[in-house]
Amino acid sequence: MVSSVFVVGNWKMNGSISRAEEFCQGLRRFELDLAEQVEIALCVPDTLLAAFSASEDVRVGAQNISEYDSGAYTGEISADLLMEQGCDLVIVGHSERRQLFAESSEQVANKAAQALRHGLTPIVCVGETEQQREQGRTFEVVGEQIQAVQRELKAGDIEKIWLAYEPVWAIGTGKTAQPEQAQEVHSWIRAQLGKAGVKIPLLYGGSVKAANADQLFQQKDINGGLIGGASLDLNEFQSICKIASALTKPKG
Ligand code: PGA
């Protein structure tokens, strides 16, 4: 069972050192009165990683990693270089990487394996496009993305990843999946992961904001969110952390 609620920001190619400093200050757990079981993380551009490395309250992640150790790969960044910046997590296979940079599911799986070999936790993103959903191919597409990871990682390693279901049609569009729609895919993913499924945090991503986080995070198989646009606004992100915190406390 996954008992924590995960609030993970994805700044994409946005932010600045001053914004990173503002977030370090503004996300102090004791000031926000957050429950222990809330995990906060921000995945930021590589040049901002170090600004978070001293924070005890926020885990920091990158948004991409090379599948290679080192060498003649101009413009790429290795696991070791990320670790040196205090990086702890890394997003792999975000739909923007799959679509704009033609990353295949196999490459994404290799990146996840490379992250794990070096002690970084990969957040593997999966999700279907609007057209694929309309064609009734959601489970086929998400299944193919997950199977590539299952082929590449040893069974014992699969339980160390985090997974984010991000329907491509909900990313940056303001069109969130209905909580029941997201839950349906999440519970299916958990079943596909077999024994590891009960241990892996399954995050939902796609236009998550303070106004819809509560309903989404309440779903049985949703352990938190991967949040793009709303993670760039400190007030909004703080509110989502507080919503997550309220959900970890005993109800009633
Ligand atoms: P969004 O992005 O919250 O802006 O839709 C989510 C993501 O791309 O991870």
Most informative mutation of 94, 162, 171 for ligand 1 (most atoms within 8 A of CB) = 171
What is the number of the ligand 1 atom nearest to the C-alpha of 171?
5
**Each residue of 40-88: pLDDT tens digit?**
999 999 999 999 988 999 999 999 999 999 999 999 999 999 999 999 9
Environment class of 100 (CB within 10 Å of its CB; exposed 0-12, middle 13-18, buried 19+): exposed
Judge if the beta carbon of residue 127 lies within 6 A of ligand 1. no
| Among protein residues, the one whose CA lies closest to atom 3 of ligand 1 | 228
Judge if the beta carbon of residue 205 lies within 6 A of ligand 1. yes
Domain architecture of the chain: domains with CATH = 5-248 (3.20.20.70)
**Each residue of 110-144: pLDDT tens digit?**
999 999 999 999 999 999 999 999 999 999 999 99
Judge if the beta carbon of residue 48 lies within 6 A of ligand 1. no
Is 166 among the residues known to form the active site? yes
Separation of alpha carbons 153 and 158, rounded Å:
6
Report the mean per-residue pLDDT for the chain.
96
pLDDT given for residue 249 in this prediction: 63
**Each residue of 203-231: pLDDT tens digit?**
999 999 999 999 999 999 999 999 999 99
Instruction: Give the global pTM.
Output: 0.96
Judge if the beta carbon of residue 226 lies within 6 A of ligand 1. yes
| Among protein residues, the one whose CA lies closest to atom 9 of ligand 1 | 228
Most informative mutation of 129, 169, 226 for ligand 1 (most atoms within 8 A of CB) = 226
Beta bridge partners of 9: 42, 227
CA of 230 to the centre of ligand 1 (A): 8
